Amino acid sequence: MDIDRIEAVIEAVLFTMGESVSVDKLAAAIGHDEETTIKIVHNMMDKYEASNRGIKIIELENAFQMCTKQEFYEDLIKVASAPKKYVLTDVLLETLSIIAYKQPVTKIEIEKIRGVSCEHAVNKLVEYGLAKELGRLDAPGRPMLFGTTEEFLRAFGVTSIDELPVISEDIIERFKDEAEMEIKADNADDYDENQLTLNI
């Protein structure tokens, strides 16, 4: 196949699937090795960015997905339902940060860092699709292991967890201090939390 045909096949696969497609599957579709496939898709990504088009291709940990460019969001929701907005409080953000940097991680390990129960926070993050169960730890009680999802990568605009900034011990200490504040608060409603709203 010539390059135009190859790019057309990749475009057709990504458009039809509507979700991320692994590199090995794209490589099988075009009959090339994975390294060559990645180079071709990267070239396509550059073309999409350079042209005035409403779609783009994003990379998500050894996979690619076709999606709408962010600047066309307001136009899109005129004809489609607006995505549900989730509010991430400080508690959820801190818990998510620990999962992202320590994954695979158990609830017990998260609680050791934050100093308080993380049951509600982890369950919410799983509900929002930002965290997921990865299996069970081979240890007494076989606790569940948690990690981040592709939705997490999309929401925070990174292609891999390797792109996350280095977290310092000062931030970990801040997490512990804020967890202590939670314990001292009379109830969750009395605790003044900053919030981050995500379109997911």
pLDDT digits (tens, 9 = 90+) for 117-159: 899 999 999 999 999 999 998 888 899 999 999 889 888 888 8
DSSP calls for 132-170: EEEEE-SSTT-PEEEEE-HHHHHHHT-SSGGGSPPPPHH
pLDDT above 60: residue 190? no
CA 101 to CA 26: how far, in whole Å? 29
User: Is 3-75's fold the same as 85-199's?
Assistant: yes
| Beta carbons of 95 and 110 less than 8 angstroms apart | yes
Residues 6+ apart with CB under 8 A from 62: 22, 23
Lowest-pLDDT range of 7-21, 26-40, 132-146, 170-184: 170-184
191 pLDDT tier (thresholds 50, 70, 90)? very low
How would DSSP label each residue in 2-43?
Answer: -HHHHHHHHHHHHHHH-S-EEHHHHHHHHT--HHHHHHHHHH
Contact between 24 and 64 (Cβ < 8 Å): no
Who contacts 129 (Cβ-Cβ below 8 Å, separation ≥6)? 149, 151, 200
For residues 199, 93, 121, 131, the Cα torsion angle rounded to the nearest 10 degrees is 60
d(CA 131, CA 148): 4
Structure confidence at residue 110 (pLDDT): 92
pLDDT at 160: 84
**What's the token pair of residue 22?**
């692994």
92 touches 99 (CB < 8 A): no
For the domain spanning 3-75, the CATH number is 1.10.10.10
| Residue count of the chain | 200
CATH number of 85-199: 1.10.10.10
Every domain of the chain and the residues it spans: 3-75, 85-199
Tokens 């990379």 correspond to 59
- Number of Cβ within 10 Å of residue 171's Cβ equals 14
pLDDT surpassing 90 at residue 27: yes
For the stretch 61-88, pLDDT in tens is 889 999 888 888 778 777 776 666 678 8
Mapped onto helix, strand or coil, the DSSP state of residue 78 is coil
With a pLDDT cut of 90, the percent of the chain lying above it is 46
Of the candidates 180, 176, 192, the residue with the CA atom closest to the CA atom of residue 89: 192
